[in-house]
DNA sequence: AACTTTTTCTATAAATCTATAGAATATATT
DNA sequence: AATATATTCTATAGATTTATAGAAAAAGTT
């Protein structure tokens, strides 16, 4: 009976996850305001009205997608920090994880990057918290790197963090449409360029 | 009479420019699909229906904004190339011009970056042409830089260009909300990081 | 098989949004 | 001043969208 209950629950959960996936895919392709709930329902093979069995509102779907996108990244950062690696190793690890996430959960990251501002203020709390947290952890990694003398002393840490996150998030714009480009090549070059620069 | 005619024409042109500015501001703030024509009209201090005296459609307004955003950048690149500077000088000049444009015409660039995909296919021609052109010119600058031995030989040019444009376009996400940060500081650090890297 | 719960469907209310047409007002010209 | 032109307004048609309510169907339970 406990087994049956958990099976039942997991059936709903599976379907709920499929709904969030569908929302992520549609939001990523057309943007939150650029799509209708019909599009999401169609991708799930159900009718528009049925979607509200899983989401209280379209906004709730957006929140779920964004939260999942940033939470995965934040959790990874927290784990990474506990390992106390060098700055260069941290950058390589973060770049690798980000690009792998882009390939496996690209829609979530794209939606977080592009549409998180469309979450209404009263619902934005959790997403803001996670992304603020992510930012703080990155700042921490950079600050530590500079204190240890790994990062050039003259660099402003905030600008550096912004530049690095910008580099990563920009990858989400083209990575998906260029399957030719090899993941490892991008990874190596991003890390190399960011750490050591483009010129000799 | 010729003077009066041109004055008249320029009155319409002034107002048309104000309309495009208003559209850019609203699109940048709420995104193309996230706003209504009412928002644009309100910013212009006219009623919603009056907007159609200046734009045939909302989509036409979007096209005008995007085209202006990318054209300015493309024109600058074309001029720059004719000067035949070194790679490092080119990067500094492009970074400087981009950040200056961001400050002065930020809305146009934000809209081009975020919403150009919302231009319907049949209207996208001119914008695509200009942005393809921009990409080709950047590729050219990087290729030349590598041939002259300024860029590390092992770097893939396409990935480098993507990384650099990503760095620039990401600035449009935060520069606006952080008036504390000095333009010159960002400029120097962006160029420095991209050229020489973050670590010692 | 009868019953309960879960999931999906149909139909629709209510709000919103783009675009148009024709009236009204302002501005320029003769 | 009378007339023409340019600009804005009002009102609205028509399409679309989100969300809800209650019926129907599917799945699970006893």
DSSP A178: -
pLDDT at A78 over 80: yes
A169–chain B Cβ distance below 8 A for any pair = yes
| pLDDT (0 to 100) of residue B7 | 40
In this predicted structure, what is the pLDDT of residue A89? 95
In this prediction, residues A13-26 reach a mean pLDDT of 97
B100 touches chain A (CB under 8 A): no
Average pLDDT of chain B is 91
| Chain C nucleotides reached by a protein CB under 7 Å | 6-12, 16-22, 28-30
Q: Distance between CA B159 and CA A95 in Å, rounded?
A: 14
B151-162 average pLDDT score: 93
Q: How confident is the model at residue B187 (pLDDT cuts 50, 70, 90)?
A: confident
Question: What is the model's pLDDT at position B179?
Answer: 74
- Would you state the structure tokens that stand for residue B105, as one six-digit string? 């015409």
Q: Measure A181 CA to nearest chain B CA, in Å.
A: 9
- With helix as H, strand as E and coil as C, how does A23-60 read? HHHHHHHHCCCCCCHHHHHHHHCCCHHHHHHCCCCHHH
Under a CB-based contact definition with an 8 Å cutoff, are residues B57 and B120 in contact? Answer: no
B68 pLDDT more than 60: yes
What the block records as the tokens of B44 is: 């212009």
DSSP string, chain B: -HHHHHHHHHHHHHHHHHHHHHHHHHHHHH-TTTS-HHHHHHHHTS-GGGGGGT-SSHHHHHHHHHHHHHHHHHHHHHHHHHT---HHHHHHHHHHHHHHHHHHHHHHHHHHHHHGGGS-GGG-HHHHHHHHHHHHHHHHHHHHHHHTT-B-TTS-HHHHHHHHHHHHHHHHHHGGG-TTS-HHHHHHHHHHHHHH-SB-
Determine which of A55-59, A131-135, A188-192 has the lowest per-residue pLDDT on average.
Answer: A188-192
Distance CA A133, CA A119 (A): 18
pLDDT attached to residue B198: 81
pLDDT, position B9: 54
- Scored b (16 or more CB within 10 A) or e, A95-123 reads bbbbbebbeebbbbbbbbbbbbebbeeeb
At which residue do the structure tokens 């004719």 appear?
A: B82
Work out the average pLDDT over B100-123.
94
Please check whether strand C approaches the CB of A15 to within 7 Å.
yes
Are B82 and B37 spatial neighbours (Cβ–Cβ below 8 Å)? no
Distance separating alpha carbons of residues B165 and B168, to the nearest angstrom: 5
For chain A, the distance separating the N- and C-terminal CA atoms, rounded to the nearest angstrom, is 68
Look at B29-43, B110-124, B170-184 and tell me which has the smallest mean pLDDT.
B170-184
Question: What mean pLDDT do residues A11-20 have?
Answer: 95
Using one digit for the tens of pLDDT, what is the confidence trace for B18-51? 999 999 999 999 999 999 999 999 999 999 999 9
Cβ-contact B136, B81 below 8 angstroms: no
Per residue in A37-57, pLDDT (tens digit) is: 999 999 999 999 999 999 999
Helices (H) and strands (E) in chain A, counts: 7, 0
At residue A10, the pLDDT reads 72
Contact between chains at A158 and B166 (C-beta distance less than 8 A): no
Mean pLDDT of A141-152: 95
pLDDT at A143: 97
Q: Which nucleotide is nearest to B9 (CA to C1')?
A: D6
DSSP character for B4? H
Share of chain A above pLDDT 90, in %: 78
């Amino acid at each position: 009976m406990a087994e049956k209950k958990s099976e039942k629950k997991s059936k709903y959960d599976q379907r709920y996850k499929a709904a969030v996936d569908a929302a992520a895919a549609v939001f990523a392709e057309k943007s939150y305001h650029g799509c209708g709930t019909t599009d999401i329902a169609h991708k799930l093979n159900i009718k528009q009205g049925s979607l509200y069995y899983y989401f209280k509102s379209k906004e709730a779907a957006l929140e779920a997608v964004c939260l999942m996108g940033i939470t995965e990244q934040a959790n990874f950062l927290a784990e990474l920090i506990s390992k106390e690696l060098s700055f260069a190793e941290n950058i390589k690890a973060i770049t690798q994880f980000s690009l792998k996430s882009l390939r496996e959960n690209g829609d979530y990251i794209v939606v977080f990057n592009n549409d998180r501002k469309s979450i209404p203020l009263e619902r934005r709390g959790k997403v803001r918290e996670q992304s603020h947290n992510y930012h703080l952890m990155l700042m921490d990694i950079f600050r530590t790197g500079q204190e240890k003398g790994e990062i050039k002393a003259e660099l402003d840490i905030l600008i550096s963090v912004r530049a690095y996150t910008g580099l990563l998030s920009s990858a989400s714009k083209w990575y998906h449409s260029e399957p030719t480009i090899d993941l490892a090549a991008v990874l190596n070059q991003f890390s190399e360029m960011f750490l050591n620069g483009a010129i000799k």
